[in-house]
Each structure stands twice: as C-alpha cells, then as structure tokens.
Chains A and B, each alone.
Chain A
Amino acid sequence: MALLKKSLNKNQAISLKIPAEASFISLVRLVVAAHLRENSVFEEELEDLKLVLSEFLAKAIEAHLTEIFSLEISFEKDLATILIQNLEEFKPDALFNSRYLNFEAIISLIDDFDLILGEKQRIEVKITKRFNFQ
C-alpha cells in the first residue's frame, strides 16, 4: 500500500490586492482559511494564522502604512507563507502590540516573522506558519 504523505498543494500561490480598509480584512481571512481548510490542516493552527493576520493588518491600517495591501499567499508542503508588500517603514513590535495581545504573544502563534527591504525602500513583511494535517 502506498504511503500517502499529506502536504499543502505544492507551489500554489494566491495574489490579493485589497484597499487598506478595515472592512477588507475579513476577506483576507476568508481566502487563507478557504485554501487551508481544503488541505485539511488543523483548525487551531489555522485560527492562529487568521488572528496574526488580522492583528497585523488592522495595525497597518491604523498606522497608514499603505493604501493598498498587496498580499502574496503561498503554500508548499506544510508551510504557508504570507508576504505583505509595499509598506512604509515601520517598527514591527509597535505594529503587533495591542493592549491585550502583545508582540510576544502574537509571534508565538506563528513560526517566523521577517522584514525584507523591497523596491524603492519599501518594506515587505513575511509571515510563515508550519501546519500539521488532520
């Protein structure tokens, strides 16, 4: 019997451009969740990623870091990577800190968080999370 090893659909990527407005954050959650659910990842891990994304996007809107969010969401094996492009310079801890969820608490829900200098001195934020399958 062939051993079936589950993995996220290889090299699948979703590009999303949305206005940097609060009403569009749910759309990002929906897109990410829809794809990951298709791949039978653990719901708790998916919820963690949704929370981190929401917190980050809400703060980025509040700080007026961009007018349009350009998101590149890619999945490979057990890894989901979300690249948020074209942001103004910022301090990441300030963006993740809220009165209730501090930077450390939020970062603990994902596997990695990177800042990358993009074109024209704009910043890209890379959020990665490794998933287990049901």
Chain B
Amino acid sequence: MVDIKIDLKEANELPVIEVTGEVDVYTAPKLKSRILSLIDNQQYSMIIDLNGVDFMDSSGLGVLVGGLKRVGPHEGNIALVLNRPNILKIFKITGLDKVFKIYGSVEEVPK
C-alpha cells in the first residue's frame, strides 16, 4: 500500500512541511496532524511543499483548506509549493488556486 512521507524543514524563517507520496482519504489525516501540531506550537505561517506529491484527492484539499482556516484568525498564512501539473489541475478545477498562494519552489516564497 502506498504511504505518505512528511518531513519538517525550515526555509525563509518559516517551517516547511515537505510531503512526499499520495494524499488521499487514508493518508490525509497524517498531513492534518502535522499541520495541527505546528498550529498548536503557535506557528501560524508555514510553507507546505507538495512537489513530491504524486496524487491528491479532495481529502487532501480539505486538510489544506482546514489548515488555512485555522491560521487565518492569527494573521497566519499557508504558502503552497507546487509545480506538478496533475496536482495543480485539482486546485484549478476547484478554484482553490485563487485561495492559496502557490509558488513553484520553496525559494520563491517571500519572507
């Protein structure tokens, strides 16, 4: 069975959640848990690097939107790093490409 790998790094003085693998109804809770642990530690701005994600369905989108809603009241933000066409397509057909700030690489995310 395909699993997900989630690493925590840092770039531009922001925590970076680096996701590798597939994000679906089975693995999305692991991503959610990592986002929530940052928020619990009062880190309300973060980068989520999805360039290692091969597949994502609406469960993954739900986790990302949930995270954005949680950091919003704290004036935080979630920047997505994503340049894979198949994953970008899901953001486009759902209109979420207008909700998230999406960058091609971690280096492009402003401080």
Task: Write the residues of chain A forming the contact surface with B, with a CB cutoff of 8 angstroms.
Answer: 22-27, 29-30, 43-44, 47, 50-51, 54-55, 58, 61-62, 98-101, 105, 108
Number of A-B contacts (CB under 8 A): 62
Give complex CA distance A43, B22 in Å. 16
From B33-41, B73-81, B88-96, B102-110, give the one contacting chain A: B88-96
By secondary structure, the A interface counts as helix
Chain B CB count within 10 A is highest, among A26, A29, A61, A62, for A26
Known A29-B55, A100-B65: A22·B24 in contact at CB below 8 Å: yes
Closest residue of chain A to B65 (Cβ to Cβ) is A100
By secondary structure, the B interface counts as helix
Which residues in A have their C-beta under 8 angstroms from that of B57?
Answer: 51, 54-55, 58, 101
Count, chain B residues at interface, CB 8 A: 20
Give complex CA distance A50, B56 in Å. 10
Which residues in A have their C-beta under 8 angstroms from that of B2?
Answer: 26, 29-30
| B93 A105 Cβ-Cβ under 8 A | yes
> Which of A23, A100, A105 contacts B62, CB < 8 Å?
A100
| B86 A100 Cβ-Cβ under 8 A | no
| A23 B93 Cβ-Cβ under 8 A | no
**Known contacts A23-B26, A54-B25, then 9 further A-B pairs from the complex at CB < 8 Å, ordered by chain A residue:** A25-B26, A26-B22, A29-B22, A47-B86, A50-B55, A100-B65, A100-B96, A101-B93, A105-B94
